[in-house]
Chains A and B, each alone.
Chain A
Amino acid sequence: MANLNIDSVKERTFDAIVIGSGISGGWAAKELTGKGLKTLVLERGRDVKHNIDYPTTNMYPWEFKHRNEIPLAVREENPIVSRCYAFHEDAAHFFVKDKEHPYIQEKPFDWIRGYQVGGKSLLWARQTQRWSDFDFEGPARDGFAVDWPIRYADIAPWYSYVEKFAGISGNKDGIAELPDGEFLPGFPLNTVEKYFSDHVKKTYNNRHVISARCAHLSKPEPIHFEQGRVQCQNRVLCQRGCPFGGYFSSNASTIPWAMKSGNMTLRPFSVVQSIIYDENKGKATGVRVIDTNTKEVIEYYARIIFVNAAALNTNMILLNSTSNRFPNGLGNDSEVLGKYVAFHLYTATVNADVEGFTEFKTEGRNPAGGGYIPRFRNVQKQETDFLRGYAAGLGAYRSTHTDSSGVGSKLKNSLGSPELGGWGVGSHMMGETIPKESNYVKLDKDQKDEWGMPLLRISVDYDDNDHKMTNDYLEQVGEMFETAGFKNIRKEITKGKAPGLDIHEMGGARMGHDPKTSILNKWNQVHTCSNVFVTDGACMTSTACQNPSLTYMAFTARSVDYAVNEMKKGNL
């Protein structure tokens, strides 16, 4: 792009622009191109091609120089990302290193990012649950944030739509607060998980332990083969990128699909500086991009723009998109942009030993990770001294014992003869947090990054509701374990864990009925800039306690459908 002047505007003009290629950007790309729109997909990081750019995917443990451990110097240089559970030698290349992209923590916040084509969809934990009206009605019922402008009925068909394509494994459990979806066969609960599930069903009338629903192809359908994906092979090495396309990622699914349409132009190394707003037209005309290699500023134009940069980056782009009309950021008449950021509480675990069941074991690995306990607190009505509730992951495993005492041939023999030990069981909390004005992100006035983008200031913290909820989780799951007869129950609050490590940061550009108190309408459309849509985590009015990605996918497909219809009607 050395000679921009002779680049015609035409060459830089598309029907649609998608900012970001992660889990929601990939969906925007697929849907827009599928509807025939010439679409430019901008990605700030490098390209990661399915199978080609998964350097560690087929490596054996002994092939990792440090046996998958991150060297101390790297950990010391990158304390934030080093706290992420998935940051190991096998996937370190898919994580942003602290120094590469600094930000300012007004309060401790571990911001985990994946800057490459596919974004964090390569790295996600692949848990996929639908929301229900118990979630969408939450803010209105409990008097926080603003009312969601949609209900379950609005999004349900779009959940179905994305589930069929992505491939979601699960069982029809018939639980109102966790609606069933379009499922491929669920992965089974093991002996102890099944025992616990039965125990909970018998003991509590509103609690369930189900097989975790996840974006894995347990039994692929023709639509998955058409994507070039095959059955999940239970490697559970997903964070390396999967050569089978066994789990859903943009890289394995939506991006190649969009590419195949012939309508997508993918531009990696393109950081979006701002969205260009035309005062006369009263809408956005394109985006200003900085080439991360050459640092050149290039403008691209389109009729509609989808912002899918990941929750906090989307906030950053909107805040940085200033004009006479929008001096505080695009669509920010309400001044709520960047505020009401929330996240999920992954702040506690309960572990225990299990007596018995030693006649059984498992074989292979479970991509679903085990069981899932849907929210049971404050579902039908408020019943505790904190708002909302939590879900919990649940997994049981048969331990293996190896005698590693002594030296010499005795040791060598015992290392080669590991023996089955007893069963253990573990649970982790996933709690809803209440979006608050005081939890916000904003742009720093002075400090800029290498590409001239203002540094993001993050100010997000726990509150009293979070602490009460965490204690309740420990009490309730502890009690469920106790009544199940589990032994040596260990209830732990994860010490010193900052918000952010849940990697479920949400909000800042929330949806709502009223332009005075929200940024987006019920179609994820900026209230006051009708051709800009935000369908990633930034749009979230509240967080519920489900893993959020599936909802972003559904929002995106729904929003693209609306946008393209509006274009056809001549409204956009």
Chain B
Amino acid sequence: MDRRVAIKNLALVLGGATLFPKNMLAGDTNLIQLKNLSITPAQEKLLAEVAETIIPKTTTPGAKDMGLHLFVLLMLDDCYGKHDQQQFAEGLKQFAAIAAKKNAKPFALWPQAQREALLLSIEQKNDLPAELNRFYRITKDKTVQGYTQSKYFMTKKVVYELVPSRYNVNVPVKTKNTAVKHG
């Protein structure tokens, strides 16, 4: 797939809660062409599973539905420096190795609880290789950013107002939760 088409598709899925076509995830080609780092189709698919573990599909769309792993790669490719990109690529390999050691089955087929446990063990440990930590941090941060700055999230969860048309002060607090529209 050429870059323009890939980006167009990416824009499509990132732009909305559009369901990500399943057959596109199953292909043997990369869905996103990167300029500054090299990620194999298998690695790209593994990253999709990691992102899905971070933001799983529940009653609402998950990372795969929203193509969040492609957002992670886009941001990594365009907005991060060489060092981060190298650490990420290396960390991704380390992650694949750890997952394979833990369970012979592909990560994608693990139960969600087991996948979460592995990610949590990385998130909460300080003594892991720097590359693995960096890989996890970037993946988590950008997955979360892609999610919280998606059309779905910003129209259905925490509503973004393009045109607030007001500035009110001394507004009494009724609930601490700010997700409520106009709340």
CB neighbours of B14 from chain A (8 A): 62
Q: Are B166 and A363 in contact (CB under 8 A)?
A: yes
Name 4 extra pairs, CB < 8 A, besides A70-B79, A412-B58.
A60-B151, A72-B79, A191-B169, A360-B173
Q: Are A71 and B78 in contact (CB under 8 A)?
A: yes
The segment from B22-30, B100-108, B125-133, B154-162 found at the interface with A is B154-162
The reply on B149 being an interface residue by CB < 8 A is yes
Q: Are B162 and A73 in contact (CB under 8 A)?
A: no
Assembly CA distance A115 to B79 (angstroms): 26
Number of B interface residues in the complex (CB < 8 A): 52
Assembly CA distance A235 to B167 (angstroms): 10
Give, as a whole number of angstroms, the nearest-CB distance from B31 to chain A: 16
Q: Are A67 and B149 in contact (CB under 8 A)?
A: yes
**Proximity bits, A360-384, B CB within 8 Å = 1, else 0:** 1111111100000000000000000
The reply on B38 being an interface residue by CB < 8 A is no
Instruction: From known contacts A62-B149, A234-B164, A365-B164, infer whether A412 and B56 are also in contact, taking CB-CB under 8 Å.
Output: yes
Residue of A nearest to B55 (CB): A412
Q: Are A66 and B165 in contact (CB under 8 A)?
A: no
**Proximity bits, B15-38, A CB within 8 Å = 1, else 0:** 100000000000000000000000
Q: Are A360 and B172 in contact (CB under 8 A)?
A: yes
Q: Are B182 and A363 in contact (CB under 8 A)?
A: yes
Which of A235, A412, A415 touches B163 (beta carbons < 8 Å)? A235
Assembly CA distance A235 to B162 (angstroms): 6
Q: Are A407 and B164 in contact (CB under 8 A)?
A: no
Q: Are B54 and A408 in contact (CB under 8 A)?
A: yes
Which of B53, B81, B148, B167 touches A408 (beta carbons < 8 Å)? B53
Q: Are A67 and B170 in contact (CB under 8 A)?
A: no
Assembly CA distance A284 to B120 (angstroms): 74
Which of B140, B154, B166, B170 touches A190 (beta carbons < 8 Å)? B170
Residue of B nearest to A236 (CB): B164
CB neighbours of B54 from chain A (8 A): 407-408, 411
Residue of B nearest to A57 (CB): B162
Instruction: From known contacts A364-B165, A409-B58, infer whether A419 and B176 are also in contact, taking CB-CB under 8 Å.
Output: yes
Give, as a whole number of angstroms, the nearest-CB distance from B3 to chain A: 13
Assembly CA distance A237 to B165 (angstroms): 12
Q: Are A72 and B176 in contact (CB under 8 A)?
A: no
The reply on A189 being an interface residue by CB < 8 A is yes
**Proximity bits, A546-559, B CB within 8 Å = 1, else 0:** 00000000000000
The reply on A416 being an interface residue by CB < 8 A is yes
The reply on A358 being an interface residue by CB < 8 A is yes
The reply on A571 being an interface residue by CB < 8 A is no
The reply on B177 being an interface residue by CB < 8 A is yes
Instruction: From known contacts A58-B162, A362-B167, A418-B179, infer whether A65 and B116 are also in contact, taking CB-CB under 8 Å.
Output: no
The reply on B11 being an interface residue by CB < 8 A is yes
Nearest first, the 9 A-B pairs at minimum CB distance are A364-B166, A364-B164, A71-B78, A363-B168, A190-B169, A364-B167, A416-B157, A419-B176, A234-B164
Assembly CA distance A408 to B15 (angstroms): 22
The reply on B88 being an interface residue by CB < 8 A is no
CB neighbours of B160 from chain A (8 A): 60-61
CB neighbours of A66 from chain B (8 A): 74-75, 78-79
Q: Are A408 and B116 in contact (CB under 8 A)?
A: yes
**Proximity bits, A413-455, B CB within 8 Å = 1, else 0:** 0011111100000000000000000000000000000000000
Give, as a whole number of angstroms, the nearest-CB distance from B24 to chain A: 19
Q: Are B149 and A233 in contact (CB under 8 A)?
A: no
Residue of A nearest to B165 (CB): A233
Q: Are A188 and B167 in contact (CB under 8 A)?
A: yes
Q: Are A361 and B173 in contact (CB under 8 A)?
A: yes
Q: Are B178 and A419 in contact (CB under 8 A)?
A: yes
CB neighbours of B170 from chain A (8 A): 190-191, 360
Instruction: From known contacts A69-B79, A407-B53, A408-B54, infer whether A420 and B167 are also in contact, taking CB-CB under 8 Å.
Output: no
CB neighbours of A233 from chain B (8 A): 163-165
The reply on A63 being an interface residue by CB < 8 A is yes
Q: Are B173 and A420 in contact (CB under 8 A)?
A: yes
Residue of B nearest to A404 (CB): B144
The reply on B119 being an interface residue by CB < 8 A is yes
The reply on B171 being an interface residue by CB < 8 A is yes
Give, as a whole number of angstroms, the nearest-CB distance from A536 to chain B: 32
**5 A-B contact pairs sorted by A residue (CB < 8 Å):** A61-B160, A66-B75, A190-B169, A361-B173, A411-B144
CB neighbours of B123 from chain A (8 A): 405-407
The reply on A400 being an interface residue by CB < 8 A is yes
CB neighbours of A416 from chain B (8 A): 153, 157-158, 179
**Proximity bits, A234-265, B CB within 8 Å = 1, else 0:** 11010000000000000000000000000000
**Proximity bits, A39-54, B CB within 8 Å = 1, else 0:** 0000000000000000
Give, as a whole number of angstroms, the nearest-CB distance from B64 to chain A: 13
Q: Which of A387-415 contact B (CB under 8 A)?
A: 400, 404-409, 411-412, 415
Assembly CA distance A71 to B162 (angstroms): 24
CB neighbours of A189 from chain B (8 A): 169
Residue of A nearest to B11 (CB): A65
The reply on A187 being an interface residue by CB < 8 A is yes
Q: Are A62 and B154 in contact (CB under 8 A)?
A: yes
CB neighbours of A367 from chain B (8 A): 167
Q: Which of A154-199 contact B (CB under 8 A)?
A: 187-191, 194
Residue of B nearest to A218 (CB): B167
CB neighbours of B140 from chain A (8 A): 407
Give, as a whole number of angstroms, the nearest-CB distance from A359 to chain B: 6
Instruction: From known contacts A234-B166, A418-B158, infer whether A65 and B74 are also in contact, taking CB-CB under 8 Å.
Output: yes
Q: Are A62 and B151 in contact (CB under 8 A)?
A: yes
CB neighbours of A61 from chain B (8 A): 149, 154, 160
**Proximity bits, B104-142, A CB within 8 Å = 1, else 0:** 000000001000100110010000000000000000100
